[in-house]
Amino acid sequence: MTEPRQNEPKIDADEVLNGIVEWVSIESPSHDARSVNKVVDHVEGQFRDLGLKLDRTAGVDGFGDILECRTPAEWSTGEGKGILVLAHLDTVHPIGMIEKDLKVRREGDSIFGPGIYDMKAGGYIAYYALRHLVRQGKKTKLPVTFLFIPEEEVGSPTSRARIEDAARGHKYALVMEPGRDGDRVVTSRKGVGRFTLKVKGAASHAGVRHQDGRSAIHEMARQIMRIEAKTDYARGITCNVGLVSGGTGVNVVPAECTAEVDLRVPSQQLAEEMMHWFLNLEPIGKDVELTVEGGMNRPPYQKDAGISSLFEKAQAIYREIGKELLDVPLTGGGSDGNFTAALGIPTLDGLGADGKGAHAAYEQIYYSSLVPRTYLCTRLLETLD
């Protein structure tokens, strides 16, 4: 790696790491609004101290608050639509993981902790990047807005509209989700659909009047086989029946059964095709009722000309430190970047720290990725016009 440009202060990897650990040390499961808001409090204080304009919106439906931080007008040389930086402060890990399987610790190049990879490291890197510019007395060419989301891990149900409204007022979207497989970022993601199937049959005694019953579980089993058969790797479609519940007792023909399905598709055309298919499913057996609810939770995020151009700018920045930036093939995981890209906003995702183990008990980031990733984010904020 080459040195930073002449007379430019270096990014301090230890300082970046210490800041990340502060965020990680405040556990914040998505459904625990009080815990999420403790992180929001911490981040809000840091951006207030930096001098940004803050707008905090109280959470609804049991989720935490949404935090928006905007740079003052005098901090940028240009006006109009600017840069939207997206990050989420919730994690999938329950309270207590930090004392058990995911103690914050360093082992060689790896630093472990709940949510450190997905994605508190990325969120802090974005904060540090702006602070690094401020310390040098530099201005951005465009205004910058940071939007911190409290429930991305469960699909951003209460913040989607806010994300889309913000995106419409910005020229670019930078998403601080974790980096991938070395020096790679994300330029496309599959769309995510969620569907709930409910079958209503008829209960009866399993031994005395079995013939009078209509098994909802049996019907659901047949529907599951039908749904799973729609998985088509060649077309990029996956259907996963992930949750099933039903019945009241082993000696009762079950009258009710529910299943929840995860759908992933690479294009809007396939999203519409599969959504139509799901919502028009009909019973297979006799004398049972089937209802299907749901739709696309996140639209497909497809690499278009605007995204390709933004990615090329990022590649040029990475070459300044002697490294080559690549993008990963279409990924099945969704993010808030799906919302911005679907609106036609050039979106670059996966800008956070590299590592592995998202959602796992070995979640970790790589220390060696902190300086390159922070440099990339800093220069994107500085140079995008």
pLDDT computed for residue 10 by the predictor? 93
Where in the chain is CATH 3.30.70.360? 191-298
CB burial class (10 A; 0-12, 13-18, 19+) of residue 261? buried
pTM of the model: 0.92
Residues 6 or more apart whose Cβ sits within 8 Å of residue 350: 175, 177, 178, 179, 180, 184, 185, 186, 328
Q: How far apart are CA 90 and CA 206, in angstroms?
A: 46
pLDDT, greater one: 6 or 187? 187
Q: How far apart are CA 91 and CA 215, in angstroms?
A: 38
The string of pLDDT tens digits covering residues 305-346 is: 999 999 999 999 999 999 999 999 899 889 999 999 999 999
pLDDT computed for residue 302 by the predictor? 95
Where in the chain is CATH 3.40.630.10? 13-189+301-383
CA dihedral 239, 301, 367, 2 (to 10 degrees): 140
The string of pLDDT tens digits covering residues 114-140 is: 999 999 999 999 999 999 999 999 999
By the 8 A CB rule, do 310 and 270 touch?
Answer: no
Q: How far apart are CA 278 and CA 193, in angstroms?
A: 10
Mean pLDDT score of the chain: 96
pLDDT computed for residue 30 by the predictor? 98
Provide the CATH number for the domain formed by 13-189+301-383 in this structure: 3.40.630.10
Of the candidates 212, 284, 198, 215, the one whose C-alpha atom is nearest the C-alpha of residue 254 is 215
The string of pLDDT tens digits covering residues 137-166 is: 999 999 999 999 999 999 999 999 999 999
Of the candidates 102, 150, 175, the one whose C-alpha atom is nearest the C-alpha of residue 365 is 102
By the 8 A CB rule, do 67 and 36 touch?
Answer: no
By the 8 A CB rule, do 26 and 42 touch?
Answer: yes
Whether pLDDT at 1 is above 50? no
pLDDT computed for residue 7 by the predictor? 57
Whether pLDDT at 289 is above 50? yes
Provide the CATH number for the domain formed by 191-298 in this structure: 3.30.70.360
